[in-house]
Amino acid sequence: MRVHLDAEKCQGHNRCYALAPELFDVDDYGQALLIVEVDVPAELHDKARLAASNCPEYAITITENG
């Protein structure tokens, strides 16, 4: 699994960091940062999908088997 974060779309809602802190961090302005981009461990797949499906700006996408 691969996670994509579109930094242009991110407006700092902070939903991904709250739901999946193992995969996302936030910078000093509250903008999301991706910690794990490729080869997301299997045990974090659900969290990755949860983060993607709760982003109000549709800034996170997931590529399965990518």
Q: How far apart are CA 66 and CA 61, in angstroms?
A: 12
Q: Does 53 bind another protein (CB under 8 A)?
A: yes
Distance in Å, CB of 13 to another protein, minimum: 6
The number of helices, as runs of H, and strands, as runs of E, in the chain is: 2, 4
Q: Does 54 bind another protein (CB under 8 A)?
A: yes
Q: How far apart are CA 13 and CA 65, in angstroms?
A: 28
Residues 10-29 that bind another protein (CB under 8 A): 11-15, 17-19, 26-29
By the criterion CB under 8 A, which residues form the site for another protein?
11-15, 17-19, 26-30, 50, 53-58
